[in-house]
Amino acid sequence: MTALTDTAVLTGRSLRHITRSPDTIITTALMPIAFLLLFVYVLGGAIDAGAASYVDYLLPGILVITIASSISYTAFRLYLDLQAGILERFQTMPIARPSVLWSHVLTSLVATSVALAAVIAAALVMGFRSDAGVLGWLAVAGILGSLTLALTWLAVIPGLTATSPDGATGFAYPLILLPFVSSAFVPTETMPGPVRWFAEHQPVTSIVDAVRALLAGQAPGADLWIALAWVGAILAVAYILATAAYRRRIG
């Protein structure tokens, strides 16, 4: 119970910092919305996404980009706490050690959820429609939440080890670019051989395809299990490396 109480108190502290500076959430949502506008209204007419409207096809990939953009702020906030000596102060208090990291992780889940909701609202205004039922939306929320959790623990590693603010946030750039070489924007069948092979075997494609099928009210098939396997593997590795980095840092 002490660990849970400590985590709740520290999470409240992190969330108060965000409410005092909401520009991070606004910035996180603005870039994906800008991508939506660009691809739907500028490039969408030249892209064949099949029978579905392009905004319906595009949205799952934009949601992944939103998560990748949002979790960079977790690394940044953790880096700032380290530079300010806040973690060292916590070490002198009777606080459960895992609570410090979990508070940042839970804050990321809340902040990213708000950003995702803003992007979905913008997509609805642009014509996005879903045939998913309640269970379908819950499954989508579960996939996106699990991906946020996995990538947030990944963000903890540079947050603990970076030597500059740019180093803390720079790791997110490859994650933001990865959806561009996947089925997020165009079907992989349109890509040349080596690029198509990479796109079809990297995690973003299975995650995007599973979310896209669920939002369309269809069965995601094998894509769902492949997506969950990727997310589970990333979460396990990231958690182990992040906690090891934390022990080295405070040890």
Summarised one tens digit per residue, pLDDT across range 10-36 is 777 777 777 766 666 667 778 888 888
pLDDT at position 209 is 95
Radius of gyration, alpha carbons of the chain: 19
Residue 210 pLDDT > 90: yes
Q: Looking at the whole model, is its pTM more than 0.85?
A: yes
With cut-offs at 50, 70 and 90, classify the pLDDT of residue 96. low
- Mean pLDDT across 219-237: 94
What local confidence, expressed as pLDDT, does residue 214 receive?
A: 95
Amino acid at 49: A
- For the chain, how many structural domains are there in total? 1
Q: Would the pLDDT of 80 be above 60?
A: yes
Mean pLDDT, range 107-123, rounded to an integer: 91
pLDDT of the residue at 159: 86
Give dist(CA 47, CA 57) in Å, integer: 11
- Rounded mean pLDDT of the chain? 85
Instruction: Average the pLDDT over 64-72 and give the result.
Output: 90
Cα–Cα distance, 235 to 248 (Å, whole number): 20
How many Cβ atoms sit within 10 Å of the Cβ of residue 197?
12
Instruction: Give the per-residue pLDDT at 172.
Output: 81
Q: Which domain holds residue 110?
A: 2-250
Least confident of 19-28, 181-190, 209-218: 19-28
**Which pLDDT score, from 0 to 100, does residue 23 have?**
64
Mean pLDDT of 205-218: 94
Q: Is the pLDDT of residue 127 over 80?
A: yes
Give residue 246's pLDDT: 85
